[in-house]
Amino acid sequence: MPVRVDSEGKLASMRSRGQGQASARQEALQAVRGREPVRSGVDYTVTPVSEIFGVNVFNRHVMRTLLPKNVYKALVRCLDHGEQLDPAMADIVANAMKDWALARGATHFTHWFHPMSEATAEKHDSFLVSGGHEGGAILEFSGKLLIQGEPDASSFPSGGIRSTFEARGYTGWDPTSPAFLMESTNGKTLCIPTVFCSYSGHALDKKTPLLRSLDALNRSAVRLLHTLGNKAVKRVISTVGPEQEYFLIDEAFYLARPDIINCGRALFGARPPKGQEMEDHYWGSIKERVLAFMMDAESELYKLGVPVKTRHNEVAPAQFEVAPVFEQSNIACDHNLLLMEVFRKTAQKHGLRCLFHEKPFSGVNGSGKHNNWSMADDEGNNLLEPGSTPLENTQFLVLLTAVCRAVNKHAGLLRAGIAHAGNDHRLGANEAPPAIMSIYLGDQLTAVVDALIAGQKEMKSAHGKVNLKFGVSTLPDLPRDDSDRNRTSPFAFTGNKFEFRALGSSQSIAFPNTLLNTMVAESIDYMTDALEDLVKGGMEINAAAEKLVRETLKENQRILFNGDNYSAEWHDEAARRGLPNLHNTVEALPEIVKDDAKELLVKYGVLSEDELVGRYNVFVAQFCKTVNIEWLLTKSIARTMILPAALEYQSRVASTIVQTKSALTGINLSVEENMLRDLTEKISELLLALERLEQPMNNAGNGNGGHGHGDSESYVMAKFYQDEVIPAMQAVRDAADELEVLVDDSIWPLPKFREMLYIY
Ligand code: ADP
Ligand code: MG
């Protein structure tokens, strides 16, 4: 029975069952009708972007204005050259930071950190130290409070590192990432980016290893560049620009979907009749309400100094993308986390919900995060830009080779770095790169690599003859458009950077970049050591580089692949090449604790063996907990929402048949009876699947995924979730989704994909 609205927007007619109550789904549909675009607080005609950008950031400009010269200079040395900051200066910085924050209306401060979950953590304290002698407020913020906090670490994941008797952890100021003011409805909070460690000094967060990996890369890359004759370089950083995909749905639908609320994804839902096959969403004109949301979120991000640049509709209906201008990795990481937080909050203000899950809706594309990665020197030169001088050129080819070697040597580890339950729904599903790591170099650069491997001194290119002698020639310009064409590759060279496309949309970019920086540092050292040996043996440096690049590329050639990564042929070919193909999280995670990974991360001081094992335990436990929550919800939604609707419809059809038969004696109702039979069979299928879903969990003993810290017992549990629970959940879903297209639409309890993905 159709739903009508009276003038007050209330439901005029209720469900046909006559209970006088609209279902949550019907109320949701109703609520969406009244939505209007929401205005943001910023009017750019009054306050141009240049004026609001960074207003909430304690950035260099602010520091230069507020700090004594010597303190400012010391801070800059710390930021630009990685020098330690004299703790005596901290009091001065803290005081300036407090005055700046108070003047802008802040009342509280917090150490803002990044525990081993995908979220950030904050505990707010006011600046108030006492009511004062005469009852007035005294506000203080010391260097000590700036530099170090002492949160209770016992409720954050540690993977077994932190023994239970030592619950304290500490947070330590990361001066390389600027402090900022987070605005909320009733005030502002000063957020100080910090690392988070246990009292024994073990990293309990994602930032610490990322910073350590940046140090490792810096040391290795500077040494290489000096060896190649580029003596002016003082510092090398890695740069990242993460492209972020997400979905938006109306809040009313969200609130009627317990699965999306609790798991971030729909555990049920038939494919919508219209998916993405019309190709009408990608780069389509952005709906007014969504654009209003985007602009509002962007204005908040501008204030926080996050350089968001690109916005567009993505492939799936209700899917979108935002991309920033790239920054130094650790800042890009903090900014990506901030972006996700601001998007979540702003969406709510607009009556929307922002979904970062990798696969909120099966049947249409999922969301990823393209991690554009490169290296830059202290002059801002991009070290993966094919150079315009012979020296730059040699540098470029040596670094490119080092990246290829790193990804080849640690393909399994890199794969493990992006492994989590959500990403399993998307990797290898013909919309995202496969789980096999390989590198795409594009036609031009591949021709160069092939010629180098073949030992040619010259090659023909579209731009004429190219001399391949190191130290003499420069490479031809590599056209960008050509290099970005292959969207199926997990790790693609796109003209002047690599694009690592396998990251999940909900994932922090910290760990994958930690791995990437460290493995590249290791391969750079390999190159430098070999170069030094060759030079000691009497070879000229350019000849040595040429020989080394040729041999190293040849040894690592199996990682290079320009073809279609979605094809079945590639899977066969990759197997022949011996490339790892780790299908899911459970297969991938053990790579993290293999000897190769330990050697790499321990040697470079990025993670100790304890820390590494702790991380592995956390990831395993997170997988178990995620699937466990999905299991509980699948069961309860199927039993308490879907089954009742199906049974009610079944009973209605059955009574219709009985009534019709009694009204019209002798009538043939075989078609109606078949319909009832079909429906009944589907209901039985659902019930059977549900029973099976409950059974394996009983066998597993404690079915709660628990607080266990994921030792090898947890790995057995993870395998069990993967092999038994996930297929059993899928069977329940299959039966339920078939019922969705049989049962009376007016009593179906869950908002349907055709509504959630199109009505906003
Ligand atoms: P697209 O991939 O859509 O063609 P671009 O290549 O212009 O777009 O940029 C995509 C992302 O890559 C942006 O976030 C951009 O800032 C980032 N990016 C560009 N250059 C670099 C670099 N040298 N290091 C890291 N990221 C970069
Ligand atoms: Mg891109």
- Residues forming beta bridges with residue 355, ordered by sequence position: 247
Distance of CA 722 to the CA centre of its chain: 22
Q: What is the CA(373)–ligand 1 centre distance, in A?
A: 8
Strands 458-461 and 439-440: unpaired
CB of 521 closer than 8 Å to CB of 220: yes
CB of 600 closer than 8 Å to CB of 140: no
Q: If pLDDT is split at 50, 70 and 90, which confidence band does 700 have?
A: low
Residues of the chain with CATH 3.10.20.70: 49-205
- Buried b / exposed e along 292-309 (16+ C-beta atoms within 10 A): bbbbbbbbbbbbbbbbbe
Q: Which of 188-202, 617-631, 687-701 has the lowest mean pLDDT?
A: 687-701
Which residue's C-alpha comes closest to atom 17 of ligand 1? 241
Q: What is the CA(314)–ligand 1 centre distance, in A?
A: 17
Per-residue pLDDT averaged across 202-209, rounded? 94
Q: If pLDDT is split at 50, 70 and 90, which confidence band does 607 have?
A: very high
Which residue's C-alpha comes closest to atom 1 of ligand 1? 484
Q: What is the CA(441)–ligand 2 centre distance, in A?
A: 14
**DSSP at 723:** I
Q: Cβ < 6 Å from ligand 1: which residues? A: 239-241, 243, 323-326, 372-374, 382, 484, 494, 496-497
Q: What is the CA(241)–ligand 1 centre distance, in A?
A: 6
Q: Which of 226-240, 444-458, 505-519 has the lowest mean pLDDT?
A: 444-458
Q: What is the CA(345)–ligand 2 centre distance, in A?
A: 26
Write the Ramachandran bin of 159: left for phi over 0, alpha for psi from -120 to 50, otherwise beta.
left
Per-residue pLDDT averaged across 694-705, rounded? 57
Measure the CA–CA gap between 735 and 687, rounded to whole angstroms.
9
Measure the CA–CA gap between 307 and 327, rounded to whole angstroms.
9
Which residue's C-alpha comes closest to atom 14 of ligand 1? 241
Tell me what pLDDT residue 546 has. Answer: 93
Which CATH number is 621-756's, of 1.10.3720.10, 1.20.120.1560, 3.30.830.10, 3.30.70.100? Answer: 1.20.120.1560
376 Cα nearest atom in ligand 1? 23
Q: What is the CA(370)–ligand 1 centre distance, in A?
A: 9
Which residue's C-alpha comes closest to atom 23 of ligand 1? 374
Q: What is the CA(480)–ligand 1 centre distance, in A?
A: 11
Q: What is the CA(369)–ligand 2 centre distance, in A?
A: 10
323 Cα nearest atom in ligand 1? 14
Tell me what pLDDT residue 707 has. Answer: 40
Tell me what pLDDT residue 163 has. Answer: 60
Nearest to 598 by CA among 654, 717, 698, 515: 515
382 Cα nearest atom in ligand 1? 23
Residues of the chain with CATH 3.30.590.10: 244-367
CATH superfamily of 244-367: Glutamine synthetase/guanido kinase, catalytic domain (3.30.590.10)
Tell me what pLDDT residue 165 has. Answer: 55
Q: If pLDDT is split at 50, 70 and 90, which confidence band does 4 have?
A: very low
494 Cα nearest atom in ligand 1? 6
Tell me what pLDDT residue 298 has. Answer: 97
CATH of domain 49-205: 3.10.20.70
> pTM of the predicted model, to two decimals?
0.93
241 Cα nearest atom in ligand 1? 14
Between 329 and 445, residue with greater pLDDT = 329
Q: What is the CA(376)–ligand 1 centre distance, in A?
A: 13
372 alpha carbon, closest ligand: 1
Strands 138-139 and 187-198: unpaired
Which residue's C-alpha comes closest to atom 7 of ligand 1? 325
372 Cα nearest atom in ligand 1? 26
Pocket of ligand 1, candidates 217, 237, 326: which has the most ligand atoms within 8 Å of its Cβ, to mutate?
A: 326
Tell me what pLDDT residue 134 has. Answer: 76
Q: If pLDDT is split at 50, 70 and 90, which confidence band does 468 have?
A: confident
Nearest to 109 by CA among 138, 142, 76, 134: 142
Pocket of ligand 1, candidates 328, 497, 509: which has the most ligand atoms within 8 Å of its Cβ, to mutate?
A: 497
Tell me what pLDDT residue 283 has. Answer: 85
Between 197 and 80, residue with greater pLDDT = 197
Pocket of ligand 1, candidates 314, 372, 385: which has the most ligand atoms within 8 Å of its Cβ, to mutate?
A: 372
Highest mean pLDDT among 123-127, 201-205, 249-253: 249-253
